[in-house]
């Protein structure tokens, strides 16, 4: 789960990370009023969306008066901001953050991410901040510093100081930087985050350190332990189909093809999508219904896939272990009877209670296309789409 910049800053500030003063606004008038609350002569207005690259897309502006703030905020509200990370549809701007401006002397990149390869928290930092990490890796790889954290000992003081020295900070800034780095680590660890990024972490003209921008992402599977984080979810920033699936316990990712997929197990889902491609088709989604799927869960999965207007056929591929083929078959039959299905459906069942599952499908009298192997199922799904087009 992603959260907004202002939310990430509020969290990091509670752990001891210094951030500029700012205020959230839900209307142009409220944005203008924030400048009076904050004081000063210059303010930065930032669109709050779940995407990087806001500045390049026109989502960040330095303003010098409350009228300028109101006018710019009026441009942003209700706009779909398209960035290089948002996709063609962009992200809807429903709130802006007004923040006091500061004089920047230097920009640093600092981030923590869960590295699945080493099964450790990986710290990445660079003396060339203000750029996306992908650009840093491509254009300034010599500036990148990497460090893994041993889960038994955690992120230690000497490691944080070593990182600060490696970034070329002044001796008077090392202790403050080390404190910020360790505060970010504690936030990452204590809240089950998967990513914490400060970009840029700036040194001001006075020599202070400030987190000028911040991002945080969290492990969805651990949100039950952190209701204070879970309530920060902004569904307006999520793909409606993926949000609908998540609320029903389904793992769903929308793709660009026209063959809907309904599979149990992420590995099998990846193999199924590969087989569809190999057969000359394009998968419309990744959908893992999980283990122990009831007929009702299968019906929910069908309804989810059918919400995508691009879907011209559905391929159901189930290898039942914890699952049972007869449950899945009953769900398929229910879907035909309770949902409006007017496209070809190919079903391949294997594993627990497969004979009973096949019997249920055959006895239903419904136009369900069956297959015994994954290759056969993929070919029949692709063929069904081709015949429909013809």
> Within the chain, what is the greatest distance between any pair of CA atoms?
79
Domain ranges of the chain: 21-100, 104-230, 240-389
Distance CA 25, CA 48 (A): 10
Known catalytic residue at 109: yes
Pick the catalytic residue from 109, 252, 312, 379.
109
CATH assignment of 240-389, among 3.40.50.261, 3.40.50.150, 3.10.20.740, 3.40.630.30: 3.40.50.261
Q: How many helices (H) and strands (E) does the chain have?
A: 13, 18
Q: Are the beta carbons of 312 and 259 closer than 8 angstroms? A: yes
Q: Which two tokens stand for residue 232?
A: 């920060």
Known catalytic residue at 197: yes
Distance CA 387, CA 279 (A): 15
* 2 DSSP assignment: B
Distance CA 315, CA 283 (A): 9
The pTM assigned to this predicted structure is: 0.77
Cis peptide leading into residue 200 (ω within 30°)? yes
Task: Report whether CATH 3.30.470.20 matches the domain 104-230.
Answer: yes
How do beta strands 80-81 and 60-63 pair?
Answer: unpaired
Distance CA 381, CA 346 (A): 6
Of 30, 23, 86, 40, whose CA–CA distance to 59 is shortest?
A: 86
Q: Which CATH architecture has domain 21-100?
A: 2-Layer Sandwich (3.30)
Pick the catalytic residue from 6, 72, 185, 197.
197
Coil, strand or helix at 117? coil
Q: Are the beta carbons of 313 and 283 closer than 8 angstroms? A: no
Q: Are the beta carbons of 228 and 217 closer than 8 angstroms? A: no
Q: Which residues are annotated as a binding site?
A: 46, 53-55, 99, 102, 107, 199, 213, 264
Other beta carbons less than 10 A from residue 105's beta carbon: 12
pLDDT tens per residue across span 150-178: 999 999 999 999 999 999 998 889 999 99
User: CB within 8 A of 269, min separation 6: which ones?
Assistant: 261, 263, 286, 287, 288
**Predicted pLDDT at 293:** 65
List per-residue pLDDT tens for the chain, 390 residues long.
899 999 999 999 999 999 999 999 999 999 999 999 999 999 999 999 998 889 888 999 999 999 999 999 999 999 999 988 877 788 899 999 999 999 999 999 999 999 988 889 999 999 888 777 777 777 778 888 999 999 999 999 999 999 999 999 988 899 999 999 999 999 999 999 999 999 999 999 888 999 999 999 999 889 999 999 999 998 887 777 777 677 677 778 888 899 999 888 888 999 999 999 999 999 999 988 876 667 787 888 888 888 888 999 999 998 887 778 998 899 889 888 888 888 999 999 998 899 999 999 999 999 999 999 999 999 999 999 988 776
Topology alike, domains 104-230 and 240-389 = no
Coil, strand or helix at 309? coil
Q: Which two tokens stand for residue 46?
A: 């930032």
Q: Which two tokens stand for residue 58?
A: 């026109």
Distance CA 82, CA 85 (A): 8
Which residue shows structure tokens 């007929």?
Answer: 295
């Amino acid at each position: 789960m992603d959260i907004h910049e202002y939310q990430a800053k509020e969290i990091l500030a509670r752990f001891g990370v210094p951030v500029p003063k700012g205020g959230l606004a839900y209307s142009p008038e409220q944005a203008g009023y924030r400048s009076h609350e904050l004081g000063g002569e210059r303010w930065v207005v930032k669109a709050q969306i779940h995407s990087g690259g806001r500045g390049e897309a026109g989502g960040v502006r330095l303003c010098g008066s409350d009228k300028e703030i109101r006018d710019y905020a009026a441009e942003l509200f209700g706009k779909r901001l398209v960035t290089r990370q948002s996709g063609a549809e962009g992200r809807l701007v429903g709130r802006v953050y007004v923040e006091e401006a500061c004089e920047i002397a230097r920009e640093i990149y600092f981030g923590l991410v869960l590295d699945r390869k080493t099964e450790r928290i990986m710290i990445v930092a660079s003396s060339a901040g203000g750029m996306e990490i992908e650009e840093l890796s491509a254009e300034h790889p010599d500036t990148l510093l990497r460090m893994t954290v041993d889960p038994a000992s955690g992120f230690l003081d000497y490691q944080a100081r070593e990182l600060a020295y490696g970034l070329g900070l002044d001796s008077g800034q090392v202790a403050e930087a080390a404190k910020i780095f360790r505060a970010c680590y504690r936030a990452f660890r204590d809240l089950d985050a998967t990513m914490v990024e400060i970009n840029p972490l700036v040194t001001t003209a006075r020599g202070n350190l400030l987190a000028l921008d911040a991002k945080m992402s969290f492990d969805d599977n651990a949100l039950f332990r952190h209701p204070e984080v879970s309530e920060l979810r902004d569904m307006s920033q999520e793909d409606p189909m993926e949000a609908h699936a998540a609320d029903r316990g389904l793992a769903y990712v929308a793709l660009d093809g026209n063959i809907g997929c309904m599979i149990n197990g992420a590995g099998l889902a990846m193999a199924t999508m590969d087989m569809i491609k190999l057969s000359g088709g394009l998968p419309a989604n990744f959908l893992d219904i999980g283990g122990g799927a009831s007929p009702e869960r299968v019906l929910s999965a069908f309804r989810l896939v059918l919400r995508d207007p691009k879907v011209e056929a559905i391929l159901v591929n189930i290898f039942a272990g914890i699952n049972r083929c007869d449950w899945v078959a009953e769900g398929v039959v229910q879907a035909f009877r309770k949902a409006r299905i007017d496209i070809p459906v190919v079903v391949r069942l294997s594993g627990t209670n497969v004979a009973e599952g096949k019997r249920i499908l055959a006895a239903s009298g419904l136009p369900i296309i069956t297959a015994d192997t994954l290759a056969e199922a993929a070919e029949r799904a692709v063929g069904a789409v081709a015949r429909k087009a013809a």
